[in-house]
Amino acid sequence: MNSDLIPVGIVGAGPVGMALAARLASFGIPSVLFERDPELRKQGSKACLIQGDVLEVLDKFGCAETIGAEGVTWTTARTYVRGKEIRAAEYTRRIGYGPFVNISQFRIEQLLLETVEAGALTEVRWSHEITGVEQDGEAVTVTADTPDGPRSYRCRYVVACDGVRSPMRALTGVEWTGYSHQDRFLITDLKVKLPLAKERHFHYDPPFNPGRQLVMHPQPNDIWRIDWQLAPDTDIEAERADGRFDARVRAVIGDVDYEIDWLSTYRFHQRVVEKFRLGRIFFAGDSAHSLPPYGSRGMNSGIQDADNLAWKLALVMQGKAEDALLDTYHDERHAAAKENLAVTEATIKFMVPPNLARRIARKVLLTLSQPFQGARDKVNSGRMAEPYTYTASAIVESAERHPLLGAFAPDARITAPGAARVRELYGAGFTGLYFAPDRATGRAFAERALADTRGLAARLIVVLREGELAVPSAGPASDMPGGVTVLRDRDGVLREAYRADEGTCLVVRPDGHVAALADAGRPELFGATLARCAVATAAVAAEDRAERVPAAA
């Protein structure tokens, strides 16, 4: 048995597991990835869409720029009924990364693997299939079948990122609620040059798949991802043998040359684990929640799971936060998964009506969608992925205090050393964003706020109206204490994005979510605000309570 205690063992070297390892490394936390395959396996496009806000997570460890450059960025999702376009949903172009970028899951995994292998804090152990797991009050012991025979490893924490068929779920016995759909779908990656716009194309009841659905997504290198809903008796292998599959493809793309890069069939699952945390074991990605692909919520939410968990594990392992902080991982990400399930449930019930009444209602609505705008608006082709807003978290203040609390922090252009967008200033620790009425007030606030951050990594951005540039810009802050960046916001770009009045001070967590509204009138309590957002250690919590309890009369 290996006597060394592994800080964090991660089961599964897919996109979620490797994103978690990379994010932990950014906080200085070592980890070991256990992967049952001998190497990365190329398996087609699979999860082929990254939402722009999720690229911000990957940007924290250097993968996003390459994904943005190599992938296909798109801003329009077109929906068709019986061959006629009924809607073109436009997604606003944004600073930084586009709203959606299409690129194969395998390429994302390649880039993540390069990242974790380039660092000194992550080890990948290939051909390690986890076959047993036990935990006690100090650690988790995992048993693995390896090329050298069975091995056991002790890990302080273990995170299951081992996919929809998750052996870790079976080994721990965690409840896996929900159901699987009976309809089958076919994914095909075709290498073909098409005259179509590089956009999402969703078809209801098209002539080339009557009575069912089909969706097309452009990928890099002239690959088009096409998903068919199949009839119950469809035999794809038989179709390939007798030429019907070629006819199926040509009915969609026309008489042009093509190559099959990959194909697979699958069934939808609508499932979630009831507990994202079991003691020292956590679940993330498809091992925690399985979703239909429409709206691209699976991998995107999984990477957000990793980002949410990483900073919390880091603070607890560094002795800066109580173990209770880890409970908020379940609270926040289980709620996010439930919302995703509700959104995809509505889509699937429209796509695949579960009974005769719903089938008739959908048929009528699709017919009415061609002449009537009201009907078009009700055609559900999948609401696209977006970050979840934490509305009921113990470490996020109520949105009644400020509308952005719990939300992913907005972005805005800035000019600052090493940053072109304000989001690039977030991520290493907590960040205070203070909208000061003037420089002297900003300096006084900064001096008192940063005097005691309770041992938590924190920086402060002081936003001023003074300056000459039309976009927020950073200038020298020699009169400010260390850890302060000064942004000039003459035209109010940041104030508008953050819905901030003079004197507003918002606290942004390491995962980019707005967590609290600090008391601008009492900057000495800034550290106490951070402590509440991090469930800081008992001594800090006691000090915080003493400060908040009014003196007896």
- Identify whether 530 is part of a domain: yes
Please give the average per-residue pLDDT across 62-88, as a whole number.
Answer: 95
Element (H, E) at 351: helix 324-351
User: Same structural domain for residues 335 and 421?
Assistant: no
Name beta bridge partners: 124.
33
Q: Hey, is 200 helix, strand or coil?
A: strand
- Identify whether 192 is part of a domain: yes
- Boundary-marking domain end, from 297, 317, 345: 345
- Identify whether 53 is part of a domain: yes
Give the model's pLDDT for residue 518: 96
Residues spanned by the domain of 501:
413-548
pLDDT digits 0-9 by tens, 5-39:
999 999 999 999 999 999 999 999 999 999 999 99
User: Same structural domain for residues 450 and 313?
Assistant: no
Q: Give the total number of structural domains in the chain.
A: 2
User: Same structural domain for residues 423 and 290?
Assistant: no
- Boundary-marking domain end, from 323, 345, 367: 345
- Looking up tokens 């607890």 gives 316
DSSP state of 395: T
Q: Which residues of 327-351 are buried (b: 16+ CB within 10 A; e: fewer)?
A: bbbbbbbbbbbeebbebbeebbebb
User: Same structural domain for residues 320 and 427?
Assistant: no
Q: 50 or 548, which is more confident? A: 50
Q: How far apart are CA 300 and CA 291, in angstroms?
A: 11
- Identify whether 376 is part of a domain: no
Q: Residue 489 — very low, low, confident or very high, per pLDDT cuts 50/70/90?
A: confident
Closest of 261, 264, 265, 201 to residue 232, by C-alpha: 265
Read off the CATH number of the domain in which 159 is found. Answer: 3.50.50.60
DSSP string across 50-65: EEHHHHHHHHTTT-HH
Phi and psi at 278, nearest 5°, equal -125, 90
Please give the average per-residue pLDDT across 90-107, as a whole number.
Answer: 91
How many other CB atoms are there within 10 angstroms of residue 323's CB atom? 9
Q: What is the mean pLDDT of the chain?
A: 92
Give the percent of the chain with pLDDT over 90.
81
Q: How far apart are CA 276 and CA 159, in angstroms?
A: 10
Q: Residue 502: is its pLDDT beyond 80?
A: yes
- Looking up tokens 């998750």 gives 166
- Boundary-marking domain end, from 345, 367, 390: 345
- Identify whether 500 is part of a domain: yes
Q: Which of 82-86, 139-143, 173-177, 473-477 has the lowest mean pLDDT?
A: 473-477
pLDDT digits 0-9 by tens, 273-320:
999 999 999 999 999 999 988 878 889 999 999 999 999 999 999 999
pLDDT digits 0-9 by tens, 392-447:
999 999 999 999 999 999 999 887 778 889 999 998 899 999 999 999 999 999 99
Read off the CATH number of the domain in which 476 is found. Answer: 3.40.30.10
Closest of 324, 323, 341, 325 to residue 273, by C-alpha: 341
The amino acid at 306:
A
Q: How far apart are CA 330 and CA 314, in angstroms?
A: 16
Give the model's pLDDT for residue 469: 47
Choose the most confident range, by mean pLDDT, from 22-31, 53-62, 174-183: 22-31
What lies within 8 Å, CB to CB, of 390 at 6+ separation is 332, 335, 396, 406, 513
- Identify whether 180 is part of a domain: yes
User: Same structural domain for residues 80 and 228?
Assistant: yes
Give the percent of the chain with pLDDT over 70.
94
Q: Residue 477 — very low, low, confident or very high, per pLDDT cuts 50/70/90?
A: low
- Identify whether 26 is part of a domain: yes
Q: Residue 539: is its pLDDT beyond 60?
A: no
Per residue, the 3-state secondary structure of 321-345, as one string, reads ECCHHHHHHHHHHHHHHHHHHHHHH
Half-sphere exposure of 77 (CA within 13 A, CB side): 20
- Identify whether 298 is part of a domain: yes
User: Same structural domain for residues 318 and 425?
Assistant: no
User: Same structural domain for residues 74 and 166?
Assistant: yes
